[in-house]
A and B are shown apart, each in its own frame.
Chain A
Amino acid sequence: MRIATPIALALLVTGLFAALTEAGVTPTTKPGSAGQAAYLKECGACHFAFPSQLLPKRSWDKIMNSLDSHFGDSASLDEATKAEILAYLDKNSAETSSTKASKKLLASIGRNEVPIRITDTNYFKRKHDEVRPDVFKRKSISTAANCVACHPTAASGDFNEHKVRIPKN
Chain B
Amino acid sequence: MMKALCVFACLCLAVVATSKQGFAAGLNAEMTGYVQGLESQAKSQDKGFKAFDAERGKKIFFETHPNAKNGPISCSTCHTPDLKKSGKTLVGKTIDPLAPSANRNRLTNAKETEKWLTRNFKQVYGREGTAKEKGDVLKFIAAQ
Contact = CB atoms under 8 A, between A and B. Distances in A.
Interface of A: 45-48, 68, 71-78, 81, 142-143, 145-146
Contact of A47 (B69, B89, B115, B122): B89
B89 A46 contact: yes
B122 A74 contact: yes
B79 to A, nearest CB: 13
Interface residues of B, number: 15
A68 B122 contact: yes
Interface stretch (B8-16, B38-46, B90-98, B134-142): B90-98
Contacts of B122: 68, 74, 76
B93 A46 contact: yes
Contact of B123 (A45, A47, A74, A78): A74
A146 B69 CA distance: 18
B69 A72 contact: yes
A73 B123 contact: yes
Given A68-B122, A78-B115, A73 B90 contact: yes
A145 B91 contact: yes
A47 B95 CA distance: 11
Given A72-B69, A73-B69, A47 B118 contact: no
A57 B92 CA distance: 27
B92 A146 contact: yes
Given A76-B115, A76-B122, 15 more contacts: A45-B93, A46-B90, A47-B89, A48-B93, A72-B68, A72-B69, A73-B69, A73-B123, A74-B122, A74-B123, A76-B118, A77-B115, A77-B119, A146-B91, A146-B92
